[in-house]
Structure 1
Amino acid sequence: MQTIYEEESSDSGTEADNEKDNGSDSTTVTPSVTDYVYENGRRYHRFREGSYPLPNDESEQERLDRCHKLWTRVMKGRPWKVPVDSPQKVLDIGCGTGAWAIMIADMFPNARVIGTELSPIQPSMVPLNVRFYIEDAEDEWTFDKGFDLVHGRMLAGSIHDWTKFFGQAFAQLKPGGWLEMNEIEAKFYYQNENDERCVQLDMLTQVFNRESTNFGKGFNDVLLMPEAMRNAGFEDITIDIQKVPIGQWPENYSTKDLGLRVQAAAIEAIEPYILAIGTRVVEDPAWSIREIVRASQMSLHNRNYQLYVQAHFIWGRKPNYS
């Protein structure tokens, strides 16, 4: 195991002790990164303040770890969809708490795994073959090239220009390397379209998808990704959409159990997803946004609505001749 971060007295931002991905043991995290912003009872990143609308406090970290477990379950324990069996270099952009990157490092001990995030919220002790960097994914990526896989999960709402983002991923991959994105479409679906619809939830997604788009980073940008990947040069783009239930309406026991866990995750996610957008972009008071949160959470508890969401798995390959 290695300790990833060292403290430094400089206030110049963040920097690596040595060139990225060169085998050194630590990354420097400076005070400007750990000087967090506190707003409406939640904690947000100071580095590139305001560029990302979700918090980074302990509650959010616990939520992200639970989401990782749900993604792993939906994928039946598989680490990815792409045809990569023995990766040597893997890059996880927007890694959150680092749960996926650490899992990959454990599964493939001979691979070098790199995770990037706006906040240093990853564990301090991790496998020797994983490293984390404090980076803004919209800045220039300066890693050593030649990755077998670039991975992104739940990044909708954090990227302004997807073609640029995918262009940077394309440049980092080796010829024949793969990009995979895992996203939840920001829309509630109904198992039976003839059933009563939930006005509260439909309005919630409509308003906040619109306002996040106005912010410049739409929560439902998953729908833009395939075309942006093609524009960046990717080939063999594949889209796999899986239905993920919310609540205990499925008859199958395993699916019912998954639905209950997804329901709890959805209830937990509403506040972090809409609080900053509601107060910063819509400019409503926090108490008003929290009333919307409570009403939406009650709607998710309502057994009359047989709800589900769609998990999008999107992947593509860098041509071998690039």
Structure 2
Amino acid sequence: MVAPRASPTAENPAAEVQVSAGASLVSQPSAPDPLSEIEADSSGSNSDTESVRSIVDSAFSASGENSGDDTSSVKSHIFKYQYENGRRYHAYREGQYLQPNDEKEQERLDMVHHWYRLTLRGALFRAPILKYPQKVLDIGTGTGKLSSLLRLIDKPLLMVTGIWAIEFGDEFPSADVIGTDLSAIQPAWVPPNVQFIIDDAELEWTYAPNSFDFIHARTLGGSIKDFPKLLRQAYRTLKPGGWIEFDEFESWLKSDDGTLKDDSAISEWQTLMDQASTKFGRRLNIAETIEPMLKAAGFVDVVDDIYKNPMNPWPRDRRLKELGAWGNLAMVEGIEAISLALFTRVLEWDRAAVEVILARVRKELSNREIHSYAAT
């Protein structure tokens, strides 16, 4: 979602800035990808996780390891953790975020980052920011280390998984980039114009008014209790002409041809996830609500770009097939992480029951006869 904040006018003397509020992920205007117009790949039988991984395997070549030149140390080191159901969770502001921060989850976040870059055709963002931004904030910044996906795709593939803040800092050396997160999972060495702060974006911001050129946030669904408050603080801290961008996906899979049935395991699972996250007070499925909240906070010219990303390689289109392969891998590997705490803590299921429904969902996610997609 992308949109600007209004500049001072005679009609609006209180407004200080024209900012644009980022849009959820969208198709390029020149090359939209409506899945309803894409043919399904009917060659072969239903895919399973291994066949999806083989598609990912063939899509990428090995890359070299980052030398780490021109770096500086991360200043915050908070390495206390909580453990539950075999997964590791953050300790700072314990219980505010229900997804783990262990190595398996970090690998999933890295895959999601790559999936987003594929969706945006290699771009890091959509907002028309200044050529030489000076100060940038990345909310919920995630990981930023050299990651090996060897365990996942059976190939010695190393990739610099791109924490968004590090890649932005490399691309825009003029910018001082701040990445905030509840978990200290960032690398010890970063570009000199990037710093990480262990912070809760839901607390009162201490940044000066009109100080950021660009604020970026991705997949905050399920982690923010009071989005209007967060947007008000973002509005206050953006400079005149600055932009804010939200990249969110709908946590509700769909199909345009009826192949995703109402009585499917996927439908049952996502209904329970929506109920649990709503009860928890931090709803996952918030993508459709971002636009009106941005407007209510004072942002103008809000642009909501929407992509339809397949959940396995069912389309015939080569690019969509690759997106589906990565989307499927991220979901199949990460469904436990996004589900476990919501089901056990909020819905009070035992872990065995959770594993049963997740096994059914994984099977359907990899079924090429189910033409499901996520709107991002």
TM-score (norm 2): 0.74
**Counterpart contact for 2:259–2:372, Cα < 8 Å:** no
TM-superposed CA distance for 1:144, in Å, is 3.9
Task: Find the residue that maps to 1:239 and give its secondary structure.
Answer: coil
TM-superposed CA distance for 1:71, in Å, is 0.4
1:2 alignment counterpart:
71
Distance of 2:73 and 2:137 partners within structure 1: 16
Q: Aligned AA for 1:66?
A: M
1:14 alignment counterpart:
none
1:92 alignment counterpart:
138
Task: Find the residue that maps to 2:305 and give its secondary structure.
Answer: strand
Structure 2: tracts of 5 or more residues without a match: 1-69, 145-162
More strand by share: 1
Q: Aligned AA for 2:121?
A: K
Distance of 1:74 and 1:85 partners within structure 2: 23
Alignment of structure 1 residues 293-308 onto 2, 5 Å:
293-308=358-373
Distance of 1:198 and 1:101 partners within structure 2: 41
Distance of 2:94 and 2:259 partners within structure 1: 44
Matching residue within 307, 311, 319 for 1:242: 307
Task: Find the residue that maps to 1:140 and give its secondary structure.
Answer: coil
1:310 aligns with 2:375: yes
Q: Aligned AA for 1:248?
A: P
Structure 1: tracts of 5 or more residues without a match: 6-26, 312-322
Alignment of structure 1 residues 26-41 onto 2, 5 Å:
27-29=75-77, 33-41=78-86
Task: Find the residue that maps to 2:370 and give its secondary structure.
Answer: coil
Task: Find the residue that maps to 1:184 and give its secondary structure.
Answer: coil
TM-superposed CA distance for 1:120, in Å, is 0.9
Distance of 2:239 and 2:260 partners within structure 1: 49
Distance of 2:247 and 2:90 partners within structure 1: 23
Alignment of structure 1 residues 179-190 onto 2, 5 Å:
179-190=244-255
**Counterpart contact for 1:200–1:296, Cα < 8 Å:** yes
TM-superposed CA distance for 1:169, in Å, is 0.8
TM-score (norm 1): 0.86
1:136 aligns with 2:200: yes
Number of equivalences: 287
Q: Aligned AA for 1:246?
A: M
1:110 alignment counterpart:
174
Matching residue within 89, 96, 121 for 1:44: 89
Task: Find the residue that maps to 1:53 and give its secondary structure.
Answer: coil
Alignment of structure 1 residues 1-322 onto 2, 5 Å:
1-5=70-74, 27-29=75-77, 33-86=78-131, 87-98=133-144, 99-145=163-209, 146-193=211-258, 196=261, 199-311=264-376
TM-superposed CA distance for 1:194, in Å, is 6.4
**Counterpart contact for 1:4–1:132, Cα < 8 Å:** no
Identity %: 41
